[in-house]
Chains A and B, each alone.
Chain A
Amino acid sequence: MKNMVIRASLKNWFQLFYVHKFPAAGFKTTADGAIILQSVSNDIYQNLAVEDWIHDNINLENMQVLFLWRNLSTVVIGRHQNPWQECNLKMMRQKNIKLARRRSGGGTVYHDLGNINLTFFTSKKKYERMENLKLVVKALKCLRPQLDVHATDRCDLLLNRNFKISGSAAKLGRTAYHHCTLLCSADRFLLSSVLKSPYKGIKSNATPSVPASVKNLFEEDPTLTCQIVMDAIAAEYAIYHQIDHHVTLINPADETVFPGINNKTKELQTWEWIYGKTPKFSISTCFNMVYKHSFLEVKVDMDVKHGRIEVCNINLPEEWLPPALCGELEKNLIGSKFCPSETTALASALLRSCPQDYEVHRRWNLFCENMTTTLM
């Protein structure tokens, strides 16, 4: 009979399924057990770290895990995506919306507390996204039989045939996980604005997102809160795996349950991972500046690799700024992070080495501000 997982403390339970350890002699691990975890954290990096930790540490040959999590306002890009192509980084900085890069593939999504994330962990052999999505659809239909929800062969979930309420992504490594979003009551308007990139002239072979019209479940039925939906999915998962409908709350910052997890969290927050992992891209663009009734055009060409500027060519109207100064900027930008604060800092440092000419300073600041705003 399935469902003989002994409810020891979670830490002890995990130890039984560590990749490099065998179950304690005498303990009978049954075939095909399963467990449901829910994070108490709303921090994207901590929650992504849980996924990494489970992938690296838990033997999933005879075990499956469902992980439920929600995050505060965040944009999450796929592993091989370019954030400058996918979202409005400037708006995100203004509104304090975080950016994260996940380790699975797929496209860009917006998370807030009105969105549920579900991660299905299985062995590679048992990896089956459609089965997972069918389970979610079943759970929703159990809740509200009249709900028109179905899974497409792109592994999206559509509401009323037209509106995307869920997107999926997956990673196959030592084991497999499939995770998906589910829009219950997210800020749909902020989602649309923030997932629109204002940056022009980018050439890249990064994986692109496929835009879609989205809708929230609560717009269809105001009683469908995140909690109700999570409970329904957990219940359906429990039935499917013949286990108790018991959801274990987990704290992703707890090193005693998840030894080594804080290092994973840190790594996910590094600039090198979030921005530096962007596939090589080039920018070729112009922008206009208005200065004292003059209309000026600036042309910028850059190559960015590992998030750093490799090639930099800036064309300004002749003599509008000291050519030597511009040349120095181009030279200094090479090797620096493609990042507004770093560019601004470099530009300011150069300016300090310049004679105190008010006019030059004013033009320089206008030019740098325009450049960082338009490109980064």
Chain B
Amino acid sequence: MGISKKARKYTDKHEWISVENGIGTVGISNFAQEALGDVVYCSLPEVGTKLNKQDEFGALESVKAASELYSPLTGEVTEINIALADNPGLVNKSCYNDGWLIKMTVDSPSELDELMNEDAYEKYIKSIED
């Protein structure tokens, strides 16, 4: 089952979050995974970690660099994608589905309104790509 495109919101740091039944799934966008190059290691937080919006929560290492990950919302980590331990390339191959990073609670739903929807994110990418 894919995560519907409409449900995703984006941060200016190219993370996406998709909320269902109060739990947000977080990943990085296609723009981000392309820019990053082949991911060789995913450093993710422990389940139970409490994050504030914009907190650093981990890093993705690719041949290009170690890239920090920033929490899109305030909440608590409920699950991490353990498939990434042996297969970090999933982030490149399937950034919106199998390459998800963490799941977290959504403590302040209003924070979602501060994020970009699909159209706004597309415009944002175009503006920085020049």
Contact = CB atoms under 8 A, between A and B. Distances in A.
A207 B66 CA distance: 11
Nearest to B88: A205
A178 B66 CA distance: 10
B46 to A, nearest CB: 9
Contacts of A172: 64-68
A155 to B, nearest CB: 9
B59 A79 contact: yes
A207 B67 contact: no
Contacts of B65: 104-105, 127, 169-172, 176, 178
B39 to A, nearest CB: 11
A80 interface: yes
A33 interface: no
B1 interface: no
Residue of B56, B59, B85 with most chain A CB atoms under a 10 A cut-off: B59
Interface in A164-220: 169-174, 176, 178, 205-207
A129 B63 CA distance: 12
Given A105-B66, A171-B65, A173-B68, 14 more contacts: A78-B61, A80-B41, A80-B59, A80-B66, A105-B65, A127-B65, A169-B65, A170-B66, A171-B66, A171-B67, A171-B68, A174-B68, A178-B65, A279-B41
B86 interface: yes
State the 7 A-B residue pairs at the shortest beta-carbon distance, nearest first: A105-B66, A170-B65, A173-B68, A105-B61, A172-B67, A80-B41, A172-B65
B94 interface: no
Contact of B41 (A103, A173, A174, A205): A205
A170 B61 CA distance: 10
A171 B62 CA distance: 10
Interface in A104-119: 104-106
Contacts of A173: 56, 67-68
B76 to A, nearest CB: 19
A154 B37 CA distance: 13
A170 B68 contact: no
Given A79-B59, A80-B61, A206 B41 contact: yes
A125 interface: yes
Interface of B: 40-41, 43, 56, 59, 61-68, 85-86, 128
9 contacts: A103-B66, A104-B65, A170-B66, A171-B66, A171-B68, A205-B41, A207-B41, A207-B61, A279-B41
A171 B43 CA distance: 14
Question: Which of the listed residues A78, A105, A171, A173 has the most CB atoms from chain B within 10 Å of its own CB?
Answer: A105
Interface of B is mostly: strand
A80 B68 contact: no
B68 A79 contact: no
A103 to B, nearest CB: 7
B60 to A, nearest CB: 9
Contacts of B59: 79-80
Nearest to A80: B41
Interface in A130-188: 154, 169-174, 176, 178
Contacts of A104: 65-66
A233 B85 CA distance: 40
B128 A79 contact: no
A176 B68 CA distance: 10
Interface centre among B40, B41, B63, B85 (most CB of A within 10 A): B41
B41 A125 contact: no
Q: With a 10 A CB-CB cut-off, give which of A80, A176, A206 has the most chain B CB atoms.
A: A80
Given A80-B41, A104-B65, A205 B128 contact: no
B67 A79 contact: no
Contacts of B56: 173
Contacts of A129: 64
A12 to B, nearest CB: 29
Interface in A71-93: 78-80
Contacts of B63: 154
B64 A79 contact: no
Contacts of A178: 65
Contacts of B128: 125
Contact of B64 (A80, A170, A207): A170
A205 B41 CA distance: 8
Contacts of A171: 65-68
Nearest to A178: B65
A103 B41 CA distance: 14
Contacts of A169: 65-66
A277 to B, nearest CB: 8
A125 B40 CA distance: 22
